């Protein structure tokens, strides 16, 4: 149980404002050589796993945030659904005021830097599918949570309006 719930307003996703947390991966023409706009991946700590995860809508409020310190992670909506993600830069466990939220268009992917704190995807439909690229055992051996309710007495609620 938390003492309070704070609103967190998502902002539009741009390469500049998302840079501390990761990259935006947009469509490019076929045949363009690899470059800095492509996902700069680190999957060297194990077997890569690319899968489609089906998520149920869990609402807009959270009190836990997660990071993976051995891998970059890529997420994208299947079918063009707009979605939201909350993030904090790699480093020590974040305080609530260090967490930012982004509105992610359904036609891009995000690549999270190794160690980026994150929670989501959040979305409006009852369920949605997401492409996910991480390691085969990320959620078993590389999944560190920070409990915002316990550490700071708050939960955060995305203000989707």
Q: Is the CB of residue 73 less than 8 Å from the CB of residue 139?
A: no
pLDDT value of residue 89: 98
Q: How large is the C-alpha radius of gyration of the chain?
A: 15
Count of structural domains within the chain: 1
32: in domain: no
Write the CATH number for 147: 2.60.120.480
Q: What is the pLDDT of residue 3?
A: 65
Cβ partners under 8 Å of residue 77, min gap 6: 83, 104, 106, 121, 123, 128, 129, 130, 131
pLDDT at position 105, please? 97
In 10 A of CB 138, how many CB atoms?
A: 19
Q: What pLDDT score was predicted for residue 116?
A: 98
| Residue 34 maps to a domain | no
Residue 33 lies inside a defined structural domain of this protein: no
Range of the domain at 15: 4-27+39-158
| pLDDT for position 161 | 44
In a domain, 86, yes or no: yes
pTM over 0.85: yes
Residue 58 lies in a domain: yes
Residue 147 resides in a domain: yes
Q: Which residues of the chain have pLDDT under 50?
A: 1-2, 161
User: Is 60 within the bounds of a domain?
Assistant: yes
Query: What one-character-per-residue DSSP string does the chain give?
Result: --SEEEEE--EE--HHHHTTTEEEE----TTPPP-TTS-----TTS-EEEEEEEEE---SEESEEEE-SS--EEEEETTS--EEEEEE-SSSPPPGGG-EEEEE-TT-EEEEPTT-EEEEEE-SSSEEEEEEEEETTHHHHS-EEEEHHHHHSEEEEE---
72 Cα distance to chain centroid: 11
């Amino acid at each position: 149980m938390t003492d309070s719930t704070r609103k967190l307003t998502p902002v539009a996703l741009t390469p500049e404002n998302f840079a501390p947390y990761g990259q935006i991966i947009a469509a490019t023409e076929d045949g363009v050589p690899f470059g800095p706009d492509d996902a700069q991946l680190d999957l060297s700590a194990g077997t890569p796993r690319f899968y489609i995860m089906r998520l149920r809508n869990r609402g807009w409020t959270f009190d836990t945030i997660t990071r993976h310190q051995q891998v970059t992670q890529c997420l994208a909506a299947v079918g063009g659904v707009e979605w939201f993600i909350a993030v904090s830069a790699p480093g020590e466990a974040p305080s609530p005021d260090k967490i930012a939220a982004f509105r992610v268009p359904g036609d891009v992917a995000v690549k999270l830097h190794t160690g980026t704190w994150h929670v989501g995807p959040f979305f409006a439909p009852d369920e949605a599918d997401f492409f996910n690229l991480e390691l085969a055992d990320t959620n078993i051996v590389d999944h560190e949570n920070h409990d915002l309710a316990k550490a700071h007495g708050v939960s955060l609620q995305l203000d989707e309006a």
